[in-house]
Structure 1
Amino acid sequence: MSDVKQEINEESAPENTLDLNEKGDSSVDSSIEVDEKENSPIEAVRLAVPVTDDPSLPVVTFRFWIISLIFTALGATIQQYYFFRSTYGAFSIFFVNLASFSMGNAMARWLPTKKWTIFGQVLSLNPGPFNIKEHALIGVAVATGANSAYAVDILSATDLYLGFRINALGSLLLIMTTQCLGYGMAGMLRKFLVYPSEMVWYSNLVQVAFFNTIHNTEEYKQIRLVRGWSRMKFFWIVAAICFVYQFIPQWLAPLLVYFDWICWINPFNMNVWALFSSMSGAGILSLSFDWTSIAGQTLYLPLNGQLCWYGGIILSYWIIMPIMWITNTLDTKTLKRPLSARLFHEDGTMFNINKFLTKEHTLNSTLYDASPPVRIAPMYAIGFMTSFIALSACFSHVACFHGAEIWASWKRTVKSKDEDIHTRMMRVYPEVPQSWYAIFYIIMVALSIVACELYGTQLPWWGLLLSLFVGWALTLPLGVIQSVTGYSPRIMGLTELICGYALPGKPIANMTFKCYSFFNYMTMILIIDSQRPALNGEAPDRHGLWTGQRALSFWGSALVYGALGPQRMFALDGRYWFVFLGFAIGIIAPIILWLLSKAYPRIQWSKFNIAVIAGGMGIFPNGYTVGVFSSLVVSLIFQYYIFRYHKTWWTKYVYILSAALDTGAAFTGLIIFLFIGGGLSGSLNAKVPSWWANHYVEDNRSYPNYPYLGVDRCGAADDKWTGGTL
């Protein structure tokens, strides 16, 4: 039994059947009640996923192809745009689901219904009403394609920091292969990461609730919410309220996004700035009133996973970092940047790697070794250590607390036995052969080798195969952790380390190693060409809108592991020797918890997930510690208080409420981007007049909030501190 199941069952005794009405409406079809008795063993699944299905509904239709292509292109463009923005925004899948619902119904009304027979197959542009399965498949397609491709990190970093641009064909091949290799792996591992009932994947439950609500399936028709509203009416009202509200923090009053109220006590004190600023410091007790900084997942992800995650953040950034800053441990204060992925000289000035690279972008070891060693922000080094803790703890935790489940799932898979009603219902559909996924994967491997060998990635064919082997070794345990907790540690640290030893002095190879959509590429080129000085740090952005921090984090790791190498940076006689202790800590800590669970079985030791805790500890290499406290408060309200003491309310409202809030916020972000922020045209870029919550002062200075360092009113823009310095 998974720790998620234990948490849900032990925190609140569930009812035998799904209570669809607050007053105990008994009008539910009895056949559904019978099916519930053999439903999923996970209560969250029983509450959100119906036990009905109609196999006759058409799925892969003309409408699917057109709508998914439109939204994938739009989403990929917007997500790549936000990749370079100082504040993060998202192309919400809930917006896609709503808009595609309207488009699908419109096409069902207007398209011709004539049928054609081609190669024995009956085809039609309009096979009937727009249905729930067709709609869900559009959501799946857009969710996988409408994002910022991971390979763009490579292309952005090499362009911004090396002045080296891989040509269009090589770039597109690199993007395509890094994206598609994962699909082949996912298909071959689906029997272990999808089919077992223990593999919940909680973020999908809110999608299930959404689709059943909007298509008004039989089970959901009977549900009535506050004031007798249908779920659809409730959804639209809440989404509209959130849509209107979000204009305040996202446009009218950005101070509400970074509400660092403690900073206002002494805004130009360096200690106060480093500890309480959420834009560049630890963000202790900082608030955020922007829903995109909180997100709907805080309402439904398992409480123990969220507490582990936020507990790791608090331990690292609210406890360890302040101690290191005040004591100047490892020159934390000397570098003057508590959180940064940049490299520095001993006096705190920026390190420029280009002075030590050959024309092939490989490190000149003789020249570098003759100069003083570089420094990294100590919290950045701790982030490397916690990534190793998370990775090794992932394996150790899964082996200790989920090993029996995985072994049982393996045996069930070999014997072809189903686990619950949902798996049995899927058997009516023909299975995609494993060989198809394997052939697809092999083709992508071949194309990946071509991309690496021909387009200057510094990664030889054998290095690529090594990276793929690492990916296979890590996917299963990481997938298990994410499916049962909602969180997953990042694997970049280990992959960077392996490549650093295998291919020393090659930063591009290191980035390529850890990576292993055309609209991503085009958007990236347009933005880099127009905003290069702001993105690579040559000059601050006058309006505070653009940043290369995400590419910088990727590039910083490539320098530490690739160009300079772990041999130098993490040597036993060096400053950052402690990084490798992460492997031992990650392996030993879950074993200790497992032994404690045997000695003291009444305490649920499995809930102390070291992998998730460590993942939270290293989540902010570049600052922007925004939304932590607000998210924790929301999580405790919904996942502790309401779930425990108002279970019926939680059951009926939480998933649709989460979907409505995220959808409203997504609409706001899209409108601001397209029609107010200049997304469609520069003439549409409307600037809000300066006032208290949007302190916009623009003079001959380079900062929009001078004399403050950022919109959070914390820190001295001109480096004239009133206290807290060395």
Structure 2
Amino acid sequence: MWWPSNLVQVSLFRALHEKEKRTNGGVTRTQFFVIAFICSFAYYVFPGYLFEMLTSLSWICWIFPNSVLAQQLGSGLYGLGIGAFGLDWSTISSYLGSPLASPWFATANVAAGFFFVMYVLTPLCYWLNVYKAKTFPIYSDSLFRSDGQKYNITAIIDSNFHLDLAAYEKEGPLYITTFFAMTYGVGFAALTATIVHVALFHGRDIWKQSKSSFAEKEMDIHTKLMAKYKQVPEWWFIVILLVNIAATVFACEYYNDQLQLPWWGVLLACAIAFFFTLPIGIITAITNQAPGLNIITEYIIGYIYPGYPVANMCFKVYGYISMTQAISFLQDFKLGHYMKIPPRTMFMAQVVGTLIAAFVYLGTAWWLLETIPDICLDTSSLWTCPSDTVFYDASVIWGLIGPRRIFGDLGTYEAVNWFFLGGAIAPILVWFAAKAFPHQEWIRLINMPVLIGATGMMPPATAVNYTTWILAGFLSGFVVYRYKPEWWRRHNYVLSGALDAGLAFMGVLLYFSLGLEDVSLNWWGNDLDGCSLASCPTAKGVVVTGCPVYN
């Protein structure tokens, strides 16, 4: 199988290294990359600094500046994002990756899943006031009390960062927005859907391929060409695995007061990552969309070891991120396989790159925490850290308070667990439909793990990230099948890489030249969304600063 994201890397490699002749007076792919890169680099100064509203153009809010309902519907950042779109590549690619690198059927699955959750399930639950939905914003990743005010997390944590039960009983149960609860539900469903889908649609192929690998039968042309190189001994991987597990266990035991995670938690996290790498890897290889293990890892350790938020975060990292990194390494090996890079060279590049990245990431994080005031706090004008905020909220929900008091028999959202069953049933229905109508090939393109898990990045991703990504994906697909498909196929992935590179370089330049000195422009064009009422509750008697009170 081939990862679509690898095609971007291959196209860039060829564009920058292979000699290419012009055809019919056109430009080479190298020239096209440079042109697109310069355009992307120059343009990002507008959404990145001069005209930040280009990130989310929520025009419905402009028409109805005093209507809570209209802004709930139209806000791309704090509402349902109806009609909202962005003229900013970072809006498109920040969370879902490049739409140009995803096959059209995967884009269609994401679109179907997003529209169902965002425009059917969420409005239905909100206006039926499911889980007191109207007491809270229609879209938010914040944690609330039953009266609609922000939950005081520090009040329920003791000096050892454990849950203070007496303080928790005094503060009351924790509430999340109904949308947030539904996204956790679809996360449950996506997990079971992944297992069932892979078993039904790919189980036979996995079994045949496994037997073929052990039997060492005929090799394809790529494998034959790679056979002339020295292979990487398996014991190299095993040694690295065992050394890392041993080091992790030692760190968790030696620094147990800080990390909170016992040794068996490390082994359990590794087992979860090992089990799910194959099914999730298959889904990723086919669709370029990867279902995550973040929710199930939090859920498992939260039930087994409640009241320890740092342990929950560590377990999530060792389980979820290990699987993600494994798939990333597989992508690299697949790229090296098709580009005929010697396996040992690829192995050393990965090891050295990982070591360098570890120190660079740690140093960068340390520097940011020391130099940026109010980083990741609401008071920060630049460093709001949406992904880290959701990570922190998850540690409170799953680690500190625990799933039993949120999604279990002691919690408010117990019914959300039925999503596990729904996710397991959905691929079975598609499988039966494919068997009943074998000539309808489009049925087999319905990928339930991707469709159900489409909103898995929300929050921190917002509605405008999805609407713009889907729009760009469909436009790309339309161009491929209607206009100059050969030219587009040659330049599609090069364009994707050039847009990413231009955005990255201008983003870094803007930060070091203007962001460090907190030089900003204060005008209406830099009001990111212009939908100040979108986060207002609509329940009677709930008082929130800046919002109307309903009687």
Tell me the TM-score normalized by structure 1.
Answer: 0.65
Aligned AA (2:529):
D
Task: Identify which range, 426-435 or 441-450, moves more after superposition.
Answer: 426-435
| 1:676-695 alignment runs, 5 A limit | 676-678=514-516, 682=517, 686-688=519-521, 690-694=522-526
Q: Does 1:524 align with 2:395?
A: no
SS in 1 for 2:384: coil
State the 1:651 CA deviation: 2.4
Measure the CA separation in 1 of the matches of 2:426 and 2:184: 18
Measure the CA separation in 1 of the matches of 2:69 and 2:24: 48
Match of 1:715 among 525, 532, 537: 532
The 1:288–1:359 alpha-carbon spacing in structure 2 relative to 1, beyond 3 Å, is same
Q: Does 1:430 align with 2:230?
A: yes
Match of 1:632 among 470, 487, 507: 470
The 1:365–1:686 alpha-carbon spacing in structure 2 relative to 1, beyond 3 Å, is closer
Which structure ranks higher in relative contact order (CA pairs < 8 Å, sequence separation ≥ 6)?
A: 2
SS in 1 for 2:84: coil
Match for residue 511 of structure 1?
A: 313
State the 1:431 CA deviation: 1.1
Measure the CA separation in 2 of the matches of 1:576 and 1:464: 28
Deviation string 1:523-573 (CA, Å, 9 cap, x unpaired) is: 323333454545244xx23xx312143222112112221121122211347
The 1:640–1:408 alpha-carbon spacing in structure 2 relative to 1, beyond 3 Å, is farther
| 1:537-552 alignment runs, 5 A limit | 537=378, 540-541=379-380, 544-552=381-389
The 1:300–1:536 alpha-carbon spacing in structure 2 relative to 1, beyond 3 Å, is closer
Report the structure, 1 or 2, having the larger helix content.
2
The 1:652–1:226 alpha-carbon spacing in structure 2 relative to 1, beyond 3 Å, is farther
Q: Does 1:597 align with 2:434?
A: yes
State the 1:391 CA deviation: 0.9
Match of 1:496 among 290, 298, 304: 298
Match for residue 560 of structure 1?
A: 397
State the 1:322 CA deviation: 2.5
| 1:15-34 alignment runs, 5 A limit | none
The 1:347–1:534 alpha-carbon spacing in structure 2 relative to 1, beyond 3 Å, is farther
The 1:578–1:532 alpha-carbon spacing in structure 2 relative to 1, beyond 3 Å, is farther
Match for residue 117 of structure 1?
A: none
Measure the CA separation in 1 of the matches of 2:130 and 2:239: 53
Match of 1:480 among 272, 275, 282: 282
Match of 1:252 among 50, 69, 85: 50
State the 1:367 CA deviation: 4.4
Aligned AA (2:398):
Y
Match for residue 621 of structure 1?
A: 459
Q: Does 1:584 align with 2:398?
A: no
| 1:694-713 alignment runs, 5 A limit | 694=526, 705=527, 711-713=528-530
Q: Does 1:331 align with 2:132?
A: yes
Match for residue 465 of structure 1?
A: 267
Tell me the TM-score normalized by structure 2.
Answer: 0.84
Measure the CA separation in 2 of the matches of 1:719 and 1:623: 25
SS in 1 for 2:44: helix
State the 1:418 CA deviation: 5.1
Measure the CA separation in 2 of the matches of 1:644 and 1:396: 36
Match for residue 343 of structure 2?
A: none
State the 1:519 CA deviation: 2.9
Measure the CA separation in 2 of the matches of 1:208 and 1:658: 12
Aligned AA (2:489):
T
Aligned AA (1:507):
P
The 1:549–1:601 alpha-carbon spacing in structure 2 relative to 1, beyond 3 Å, is same
The 1:268–1:548 alpha-carbon spacing in structure 2 relative to 1, beyond 3 Å, is farther
Match of 2:174 among 351, 358, 374: 374
Asked if the contact 2:479–2:488 (Cα under 8 Å) also holds between the matched residues in 1, the reply is no
Aligned AA (1:712):
D
Deviation string 1:218-261 (CA, Å, 9 cap, x unpaired) is: xxx24x35633222122212222222222222221111111111
State the 1:644 CA deviation: 5.4
Asked if the contact 1:458–1:509 (Cα under 8 Å) also holds between the matched residues in 2, the reply is yes
Match for residue 243 of structure 1?
A: 41
Gap runs ≥5 in structure 1: 1-198, 695-704, 706-710
State the 1:691 CA deviation: 4.6
Asked if the contact 1:286–1:628 (Cα under 8 Å) also holds between the matched residues in 2, the reply is no
Measure the CA separation in 2 of the matches of 1:421 and 1:348: 63
Measure the CA separation in 2 of the matches of 1:299 and 1:623: 19
Aligned AA (1:669):
G
Asked if the contact 2:369–2:375 (Cα under 8 Å) also holds between the matched residues in 1, the reply is no
Match for residue 108 of structure 2?
A: 307
Larger Rg, first or second structure (1 or 2): 1
The 1:513–1:401 alpha-carbon spacing in structure 2 relative to 1, beyond 3 Å, is same
Match for residue 152 of structure 2?
A: 352
Match of 1:341 among 137, 141, 152: 141
State the 1:273 CA deviation: 2.6
The 1:668–1:370 alpha-carbon spacing in structure 2 relative to 1, beyond 3 Å, is closer
